Amino acid sequence: MKTITSSNFNFPGQQSVYKGKVREVYNINDDLLVMIATDRLSAFDVIMPKGIPYKGQILNQIASKFMHLTKDIVPNWLVANPDPNVAVGYLCDPFKVEMVIRGYLSGHAAREYAEGKRVLCGVEMPAGMKENDKFPTPIITPTTKAAVGTHDEDISKEEILAQGIVSKEDYEVLEKYTHALYQRGTEIAASRGLILVDTKYEFGKTKDGKIVLIDEIHTPDSSRYFYAEGYQDRQDKNEAQKQLSKEFVRQWLISNGFQGKDGQQIPEMTDEYIETVSDRYIELYENIIGEKFEKADVSNIQERIETNVNAFLASYKK
């Protein structure tokens, strides 16, 4: 199984490299960012020891397609996709918060709710809900953008403003854009027989001060999807929802005694299990995009990426 789990390129004009949980970002002449989506898998803010075939391509292509499908309502950073695993965009100054929006009581919110908490990130959650119920209206539950190797932390709008992490004026734009993107994502998902349960967005400012959407959007790493068909029936019967997201990996890890806590060991991920994870990512791609997934040539991923990015940079005109 051929994957890309790290890179060490030296592109023309390269100023620096930032290595995130799953993406590696190359600064070109303080003008462009070359973002490489690796096949690394992160869960509970821990990088799993093996890569997932085609995961980087899937994440990159989903994000890029949704950038195009939402650019009429929210401007974004994307310039080009010179390779299946690569997005090139404008250098931006990122806001140090992630805008998480939830339409349903699922995942982290459901775990907090089960512990008796009724306020998440300063937002009150209605009493009497059960896991995967729909909120009356979507709620925004931001997190601080953590440094590499540390957990993102829940934070309220009030704390963000009080600490000066984001100005009131900018935060209102982030809120407006977050709701607009989630509404568009919900409509697209519904047209494909899916429910966009929750997701997160990241934003930055361009050199001329414009707020734009950056990083990924509506991917299985940043979002949770349910199948719409049978959703209400499963809720009525207190059954688990059929879903397409990274949550299935988290649940597998939890069932094998791992939640990223100190002293816990990552369970062995066999080649057979890794193949099932890859298949699930492909399944999500085909469902949410509505097209068959075309596997890229992985005989030499590093060389392919380097060749394609170099060709793009050689032809790039501001």
pLDDT for the residue 1: 63
Q: What is the DSSP letter of 74?
A: S
* Mean per-residue pLDDT over the chain, rounded: 93
Residue 35: CB atoms within 10 A of its CB come to 23
State the Cα–Cα distance between residues 97 and 33, nearest whole angstrom. 20
Q: Do 88 and 104 have their domain in common?
A: no
pLDDT for the residue 260: 87
Structure tokens given for 56: 């980087």
Look up the pTM and report it.
0.88
- Evaluate whether residue 5 is within a structural domain: no
pLDDT for the residue 147: 57
- Evaluate whether residue 70 is within a structural domain: yes
- Evaluate whether residue 60 is within a structural domain: yes
Q: 63 burial class (0-12, 13-18, 19+ CB within 10 angstroms)? A: buried
Q: Do 233 and 97 have their domain in common?
A: yes
- Evaluate whether residue 200 is within a structural domain: yes
Q: Do 228 and 278 have their domain in common?
A: no
Which of 183, 217, 237 represents a domain boundary (last residue)?
237
Q: Do 226 and 106 have their domain in common?
A: yes
For the chain, how many structural domains are there in total?
2
Instruction: Compare 136 and 222 and report the one with higher pLDDT.
Output: 136
Q: Do 115 and 22 have their domain in common?
A: no
- Evaluate whether residue 2 is within a structural domain: no
264 within 8 A of 258, measured Cβ to Cβ: yes
Which of 237, 252, 279 represents a domain boundary (last residue)?
237
Instruction: Compare 149 and 203 and report the one with higher pLDDT.
Output: 203
pLDDT for the residue 150: 53
CA–CA distances in Å: residue 160 to residues 12, 31, 125, 173: 38, 28, 20, 14
Q: Do 212 and 110 have their domain in common?
A: yes
Q: Which structural domain, as residue segments, surrounds residue 115? A: 93-237
Confidence of residue 16 (pLDDT cuts 50, 70, 90): very high
Dihedral of the alpha carbons of 311, 312, 315, 317, in degrees to the nearest 10: -160
Nearest one of 168, 178, 240 to 213, comparing CA atoms: 178
- Evaluate whether residue 9 is within a structural domain: no
Q: Note the pLDDT tens digit of each residue in 224-235.
A: 999 999 999 999
Which of 237, 257, 283 represents a domain boundary (last residue)?
237
We report the CATH number of the domain holding residue 181 as 3.30.470.20
- Region 59-73 average pLDDT: 96
Q: Do 219 and 103 have their domain in common?
A: yes
Q: Do 159 and 63 have their domain in common?
A: no
- Evaluate whether residue 162 is within a structural domain: yes
101 within 8 A of 117, measured Cβ to Cβ: no
Q: Do 100 and 63 have their domain in common?
A: no
- Evaluate whether residue 301 is within a structural domain: yes
Q: Do 296 and 228 have their domain in common?
A: no
We report the CATH number of the domain holding residue 44 as 3.30.200.20
Q: Do 125 and 227 have their domain in common?
A: yes
Q: Do 103 and 48 have their domain in common?
A: no
